[in-house]
Structure 1
Amino acid sequence: MIAIYPGSFDPITFGHLDIIERGVQLFDRVIVAVLRNPNKNPLFSVQQRLEQIRHAVVHLPSVEVDSFDGLTVNYAQMRQAQVLLRGLRAVSDFEVELQMAHTNKTLSTQIETVFLATSNEYSFLSSSVVKEIARFGGSIEHLVPSHVAQELQQCYANKYPVSNQK
């Protein structure tokens, strides 16, 4: 059975990796699919995010990394996937994800949504939180893979150079 794990992954975090690693235990193949969303202004390009994810999942041979635009269910049908894999951190995630799952079901009755609760240690973690910490020079090595932490630190060092002025 093939599962699609869609998202923006800007950047991929250990919370995302938690869902991916647990997903490969449940499904024959997991396709991590980066959505090209015109409504978002990502920090990293789609190509950068694809490379970050590929590097992070190199140890998982049943994971494929791809990108798409348009409706997730259309992409899932094109890839012959039966499942959309989604992670849940909090009740607020559940409300949004449940609404999306119901909407997707109206578009394709053949595709199921499977929710995995994120492990407790990552329940607070989001890409937005990581970027905010990195922007202000905080430690993020415990939140994202080391190669992603380095890219974030470089990115923010160039965008927001530290000033010693008071």
Structure 2
Amino acid sequence: MTSPNVTANRKSKLKPWGLGSLMVTVLVLCLGPVLMVAGTLQINADEELVRTGEQVPGTITEFHDRSKASARRMKVEFQTADGAARYEWVAVDFEQHPLVGEEVKVVYRESDPGQATVLGFESDGVFFRGVGTVLTCIFGGIGIFLVICYLLGVRKDRQKLDEQRNEGRHGG
């Protein structure tokens, strides 16, 4: 005979909205690491380009000095070996103050001049890796906190169940 407090073969079913919430949670938790990986891959690609690409002079044609870090960019014009004019937008750090008309060194891939970077200025991957790191810390911290809360709740539930069992054995 079983106690009225015990349910037999109770299966937990995830409601459709619960499944959606779970999927959103997983996506949010994965966003930070995905951005970190994408940023690191971009940084590595730019470092490889600097080692193997063609180096040419370039001229700063525009500079957008904004207070928002992701909007501080400059446009650099350079010419490829075949004489074609190309442009590259580059992120600018807050400590850097480039001037329009200033000369810089540009490195581009000869087989694909659309892949270019400007020496002395950061890769776009730095921004993505930074955002990914912050998101991972925030959402990972929240996730760890929620897991700990859940485990503490399970522990309390077990303690209550054990107390109820003990009371039932000893006659109350």
Greater Rg by CA: 2
Q: Which has the higher helix share?
A: 2
What's the TM-score once normalised by structure 1's chain length? Answer: 0.27
